[in-house]
Structure 1
Amino acid sequence: MQKRTSKHVAYAIVGYIGVSAISYFILMKFGAPFVAHQPLVEHASATERFWDFQAASLWGFVLIGLIFLITRGYRNREMRMPSRETSKKELSLLLGYMAFAQLAGLGLGKAFGFHAISFHLAGSIYGNHEHLKLTEMLVWASYNFIVYAVLPVVYLMRKKGYTLSQLNLVSNKNVLRDTIVILAILIIESIVQLEGLSDALLDLSPRQILIGGFAAFSFNLFGTAIPTAVFLFAILYPRFKAVTNSAIVPIVLGGLTYTALHFFDSWMVFRSSGALLASLSALFLQYFMPGVVKSVLTDRTGNPWVHMWAYHVIVPHVIIDTPHFVDAFDILK
């Protein structure tokens, strides 16, 4: 088993390097289309962005090492999962549902005159230089919460007979132990993001931080953090483990699925084949490693809620997105 795990780790690293190399050449050729409806940026900017992605990925590897160090004494961290055959059938259904939900989010967003509904609110991560209306924010958060958290749980409980415990939504694990993991990663990641990613939060007044931070926390909690925790890590991830019977493959699949859930983020550009290839490259480089880190946190603790508090709703979304909400709501100093 140890030999097989080591082989899978090697494959995953080589695969990431290979995809990164291909993405580099694509970004050099077509530019980096990070904001929809804006001209592709010049190649120099694409080069800088590529190496920013690589620096973030390198930090992701460091963070994974820290997670293993913090959780080295964990025991009985296994998640509850169905049999392999049941998981196969349910995965096909759930992944098909996910694809339909993404397309429906695209259609619904356009029908209301909004941006496509994906797993990040428009303007998150890369600004789109637009003031979002409260209506769009509410529709985005409500859609994702209902479609990715409420409906799958209701279906699996009523039609398949699962309990909340069997769906990993309530935990009998050591709460104190998980809290220590959350606080350790939260503190470390907060410092790194404020120092290396964006310190715009520190330029806001206390009033703006309080009101804007509460808005960023609330909308992102229901619009992306809970849907990710429930749909991807409480429901899909245990089935990835059951089907693959591997320590590494489910983590990679978690990273890829997390990436796919952001396919229609507002900065994606589909107006040409080159823009699409560049957008897909940026999408992978932006989201795969964070998805892997979330997968590792879930796998090591056996608790899908740990990653949400340690590495999602507060960092990055409160730290990075609070200025966006301050701007959207015109919160004065």
Structure 2
Amino acid sequence: MTPLESQKTTPLVSILIINYNTAEVTIKSIENIIANTDYQPYEIIIIDNDSEKDDQHMLVDYAEQKSLIHYLMEENIGWNDGVNYGFSKANGSLLLTINSDVIVEKGWLKNMVNIYFSKEKVGAVNANIYEDGESIITANSGELKILHGACCMFSEKAWHLVGKLDSKNFEFYGTENDWSYRARSMGYKLLLSESSVVNHLGSSKITAGGGLSVIKTGKIFQYIKIRLEGRVKFRAYNYKLKDWLSREILSEFKHAYINGYFRIFIATYIRVLFNIKNILLARKQRSLKRKEALKILAYDETKQP
């Protein structure tokens, strides 16, 4: 008997897809999900991030034809807040976000739910994401340090206690790292469902947020800046103060110098340092929220038989 089969009831999974001017791709992704999902019950929620009218009309017509839940944003709220908003409207006890450029294989969702029930205190489960024929997910005995948002399923309870994605402090990259760190600091496990194979065809995350697809347009230094700033902010908001400047900084310094983006490296650290007052305030607020969440978790554990 599998962990899932041992459950009295199977939980509702809310599957969230964010669209921004990619209706044709999004529709193909949903058709692929429907064709390859042998798990019930699930619901599909579509968030349209203020796409062009023709794209939006195509998506709405499809959603209404398939009786799918859909919300049309009056402005582009970005990928992070798109996820936050979509999950706030979800009915499931398991919340899954999947990029519109991801193609799933048979059994993907059932395997993810099965892994979720395989251990205690699981905060999230990642699908095994492939790009160009190779898995990009690294796990240690099935456990992850960092989640990959291209296809990731969260416990609704963990999502509530850990908190939503921090769109205030992270514009594009860094939110998955940040949420993962916060979850693990509260004792939650982040697991990989190795048999839940999905194929990531491109990089729709920035597109879903309304920004330029910097890789496709050749703006590689803009891409480096966004990624580097996400990493530096992640450390600033989470690591101990004595560590966040020193940990990994030497290797980043060397890499930036060798690869010709030393100025971006220096400018990024200067921007973060100039914002140190707000960072310290945010760290204090996060610490208080974490303590309250840990109290709730401790209380819940005393109530378990």
How does the TM-score come out when normalised to structure 2?
0.26
Report which of the two has the higher share of strand: 2
The one of the two structures with greater contact order (alpha-carbon pairs below 8 A, sep at least 6) is: 1
